[in-house]
Amino acid sequence: MKNSILLVIAFSLTQCRSLAPITRSDVIIVPDPGYDSGSHKDITIGKEDVFSADLWREDIGDAVVQPEIFEEEGFVEDAPFDEGFEPGTPIPRQCAVTLSYKPSRPATSINVPAEWNNWNKDAHPMQGPDNNGYYEVTLTNNDVPPGEWGYKFLVDKTEWVFDPSNPLVKYVGSDKIENSRLIMPDCELPLLELVSAKADYSAKTIDIVVQVFTGISSQPLVAQKMKVFLKGNEVPYSFDKTKQQIIVHLEGLERGKYSFIFRVANTYGEAEPLFVPLWVEEKPFSFKDAILYFAMTDRFFDGDPTNNKPANCIERTSKANFLGGDFEGIRKKIEEGYFDKLGVNAIWISPPNDNPDGCYTGSLGRLYTAYHGYFPLELEKVEAHFGSMEDLKALVETAHRHGIRVLVDLPANHVHEESPIWAMHKDWFNQDPIICSDDDNWNQHPIDCWFQPYLPDLDFRNLDALNAFTDAAIFWAVEADIDGFRVDAVKHMIHDFSRTLRWKTKKRLETTGVDFILLGETFDGREKIKEYIGQNELQGQFDFPLYFTIVSAFARDETGLDTAISEYEASRSFFGNDAEMSNFLGNHDVPRFISHAAGQIPSSNPNDERVKKMAWDNPPPLPADTVPFSKLKMAFTFLLTLPGIPLIYYGDEVGLPGAGDPDNRRMMQFEGLSANQESLSQAIEILGKTRHAHSATRYGQLTKFVAEPSFLAYAVTTADDVVIVILNKDSNATKSVNVSSVISGSQTLTDV
């Protein structure tokens, strides 16, 4: 029985409550069960005691902490476990890769020529076919040395075929011939595998079991290298010497994300660290439940004036200069509950890596700084204008305490010419610059064109470049404990970039099943956008075609509401329900919605020269009339009552005006709001709260009642939830809507 009925036609103010952090005043230190307890005793100490100072954590509550391993107990740095620990017999890892292939026609033979066998056409004959028509071969470390190798299947000695089950490719030789890519690990190293991981919100506990394998030659494990970390601090564990398992149990945990890093080594070397993320939260989260907010870091809020260092090459107050927003500013607004009030549970921030400090020529010949973060210099260095790595970690940790996921912008298509990467690795880049803005190179040469003459374009057919940039992405994800990437300029990189990135995020970051989202930006039509979405690439992208329809129908009155809902249906059908598509009515590359709605923007095309010039010569003011704000309320109602990930571009919740770039990136306004702005903000708060309260807005089936240019009535329904939405652009018109197909006569409508 459908028991929750909602009619969305009105707005009112509702306040949200945020949870206060819980802290404890002491910790308990006990010996690890695997160690000789004769030299230790259980003690209780305060956080100021020297013994625990480096292990104390304010926000974790009571914790069990592993004692120091003293040298006099027989443990020496980089030495194997000795008889005092009795680690048991190490279990060696398995080292094999199985390839399988189902040919499209009957085959006499299938082999695997590859780099490692010098493309021997007779190498590795595959056995088969089995009952399902598949051929198979298992390769061990005796067949394939450690490394990343190109290979193909060779059918009947004549037909060269890619491995259709392998999304990874390698470009081999000076001609960069595309092949499937096989990765054989160094199997002399230990291996860590997750056995189980559970976070219990009601009990406030976490339990993790990790299997330890040593290398295939059964090398001894190293005592001091077996460690477990949580947010930079060592945490306790016990070791089951029979099963060779590390066991972690923590109690008294508050709401938030707890990402553990397990490390182990043998006498040959160190294993790849195991990343184990867990959320202590009341309800499981899906990105289908997200309301995403883009807080452009430099333009959102100045929380730390000490890092304000605008460039001297343009006016210090120029809208193209650094204006002072930083990580601390975003963190403070999270802590204040600003995002909680809006119902925001996912934040996208600007690229955090280091950018140059100078001024560079951009659109219309104007000078710009790198305040936006899209001129990367270093792969793993933080942009000082935004703060430090510790500031970024504090932002993320605060967000996690509020149940908010954090996405970081990932620009990987290019670097700035001042980057040491360009200086040291010219072979990583496309040479002989083709500038994207010349001719139609944005579309004719999307992969190898340079955005600007000073932005060398990466050629990810070079495996070293590909691994450097995708490994750097994993570094940011682990180090800052973020929850996803907004991947910039997707269509300007080869598919192997997004496929390799997805392969690594699955393998390294999603060990517990906690989603790490890759949300792409492809400023193009549906076909090109969908090309990069799939199980082995991006989970979703921003829906640009729908954006232009929303602006046309709700802001500019160039098309009707019937067109808007039809285009939404077309997008859902085209991309499918599994794609995590983000619907939006504004971002940092297009004029502000409110200025469109006020009739101040001459064209919906952000590349129109008039729109670009207006940003500098005639920036639109805040509308005084209520009509543009009513249009924006209606557009947000549409956005927040339909499945998809709705995006709020910072400032749109208060009707921040703006023309083209960089006028659409004015400093966020928190104070001195007009009555129209206050009313808009309150309406969005209600819509955000309503979206979270009603699953139909996130997972529901769409039913249209009336779809006309000025009037739209629809419902979204699940088995136990119904939301009815009525949008009327004509204040003088009234209509009757028959909703009997989704509700019964005995049910009650609740107006929000």
pLDDT, position 85:
56
pLDDT at 610 over 80: yes
Question: What are the tens digits of pLDDT across the range 154-174?
Answer: 999 999 999 999 999 999 999
pLDDT, position 68:
34
Over range 423-441, report the average pLDDT: 96
Indicate the length of the chain as a whole number: 752
Give the phi and the psi of residue 572 in degrees, each rounded to 5.
Answer: -60, -40
Least confident of 98-102, 393-397, 439-443: 439-443
Q: Which two tokens stand for residue 137?
A: 């071969």
Question: What are the tens digits of pLDDT across the range 296-337?
Answer: 999 999 999 999 999 999 999 999 999 999 999 999 999 999
- Identity of the amino acid at 576: G
Over range 708-732, report the average pLDDT: 96
Over range 419-426, report the average pLDDT: 98
Over range 343-366, report the average pLDDT: 98
| Sheet order of strands, 169-172 included | 147-151, 177-184, 169-172
pLDDT at 277 over 90: yes
Distance CA 522, CA 543 (A): 9
pLDDT at 213 over 90: yes
Q: Are 30 and 62 in contact, with CB atoms under 8 Å apart?
A: no
pLDDT, position 73:
27
- Identity of the amino acid at 640: L
- Identity of the amino acid at 420: P
Distance CA 181, CA 152 (A): 9
pLDDT, position 62:
33
Axis crossing angle, helix 389-401 with helix 463-480, rounded to the nearest 10: 60
Could you tell me which CATH class the domain 96-184 is placed in? mainly beta
Give the residue from 68, 67, 62, 64 showing the smallest Cα distance to 26.
Answer: 62
Cis peptide bond upstream of 623, omega within 30: no
In this prediction, residue 637 has a pLDDT band, given cuts at 50, 70 and 90, of: very high
| Sheet order of strands, 64-65 included | 43-46, 26-29, 64-65
What is the biggest distance separating any 2 CA atoms in the chain, rounded to whole angstroms?
A: 88
Dihedral sign, CA of 64, 68, 69, 73? Answer: negative
pLDDT at 109 over 90: yes
Question: 184-194 burial, b if ≥16 CB within 10 A, otherwise e?
Answer: bebbbbbbbeb
Distance CA 661, CA 615 (A): 6
- Identity of the amino acid at 673: L
pLDDT, position 88:
79
Over range 610-626, report the average pLDDT: 98
pLDDT at 18 over 50: no
Q: What does the CA dihedral 552, 557, 562, 566 come to, rounded to 10 degrees? A: 0
For domain 26-91+188-280, give the CATH superfamily. Answer: Immunoglobulins (2.60.40.10)
In this prediction, residue 223 has a pLDDT band, given cuts at 50, 70 and 90, of: confident
Over range 517-545, report the average pLDDT: 98
Dihedral sign, CA of 261, 63, 204, 287? Answer: negative
pLDDT at 744 over 90: no
The DSSP H or E segment spanning 209 is strand 205-213
For the beta carbon of residue 98, count every other beta carbon within 10 angstroms.
8
205-213/191-200 β-pairing: antiparallel
Q: Are 657 and 622 in contact, with CB atoms under 8 Å apart?
A: yes
pLDDT at 416 over 90: yes
Cβ-based burial of 664 (10 A; exposed 0-12, middle 13-18, buried ≥19) = buried
Q: Tokens 């260092």 appear where?
A: 309
Where in 568-664 does DSSP place strands (E)?
A: 582-584, 645-649
Q: Are 154 and 110 in contact, with CB atoms under 8 Å apart?
A: yes
Q: Which two tokens stand for residue 453?
A: 């003459």
pTM above 0.85, yes or no: yes
Q: Are 448 and 434 in contact, with CB atoms under 8 Å apart?
A: yes
In this prediction, residue 37 has a pLDDT band, given cuts at 50, 70 and 90, of: very low
Over range 523-535, report the average pLDDT: 98
110-111/153-155 β-pairing: antiparallel
Chain centroid to CA 76: 41
- Identity of the amino acid at 173: G
Question: What are the tens digits of pLDDT across the range 282-293?
Answer: 999 999 999 999
pLDDT, position 110:
99
The rounded mean pLDDT for the chain is 90
pLDDT at 49 over 80: no
Q: Are 345 and 319 in contact, with CB atoms under 8 Å apart?
A: no
- Identity of the amino acid at 281: E
Distance CA 415, CA 511 (A): 31
SS (H, E, C) 97-135: EEEEECCCCCCCCEECCEHHHCCCCCCCCCECCCCCCCE
- Which residues pair with residue 451 across a beta bridge? none
CATH T-level topology, domain 289-415+465-530: TIM Barrel (3.20.20)
pLDDT, position 5:
44
| % the chain with pLDDT above 70 | 88
pLDDT at 393 over 70: yes
pLDDT at 11 over 60: no
Q: Which two tokens stand for residue 642?
A: 């339909």
Q: Which two tokens stand for residue 5?
A: 């009925």
Cα-atom radius of gyration of the chain, to the nearest Å?
28
Cis peptide bond upstream of 273, omega within 30: no
pLDDT at 600 over 90: yes
Give SS3 for 41.
Answer: coil
pLDDT, position 108:
97
CATH 2.60.40.10 residue ranges for the chain:
26-91+188-280, 96-184
pLDDT, position 80:
52
DSSP secondary structure string for all residues of 569-596? HHHHHHH-TTS-PEEES--TTS--HHHH
CATH 3.20.20.80 residue ranges for the chain:
289-415+465-530
Question: What are the tens digits of pLDDT across the range 169-202?
Answer: 999 999 999 999 999 999 999 999 999 999 999 9
Over range 406-421, report the average pLDDT: 99
pLDDT at 29 over 80: no
pLDDT at 72 over 60: no
SS (H, E, C) 474-520: HHHHHHHCCCEEEECCHHHCCHHHHHHHHHHHHHHHCCCCCCCEEEE
Distance CA 426, CA 430 (A): 8
Q: Tokens 């009947």 appear where?
A: 156
Distance CA 433, CA 443 (A): 15
Distance CA 317, CA 311 (A): 10
Within 8 A by CB and 6+ apart from 142, the residues are none
Question: What are the tens digits of pLDDT across the range 670-713?
Answer: 999 999 999 999 999 999 999 999 999 999 999 999 999 999 99
For the beta carbon of residue 630, count every other beta carbon within 10 angstroms.
17
Cβ-based burial of 334 (10 A; exposed 0-12, middle 13-18, buried ≥19) = buried
Cis peptide bond upstream of 129, omega within 30: yes
In this prediction, residue 745 has a pLDDT band, given cuts at 50, 70 and 90, of: confident
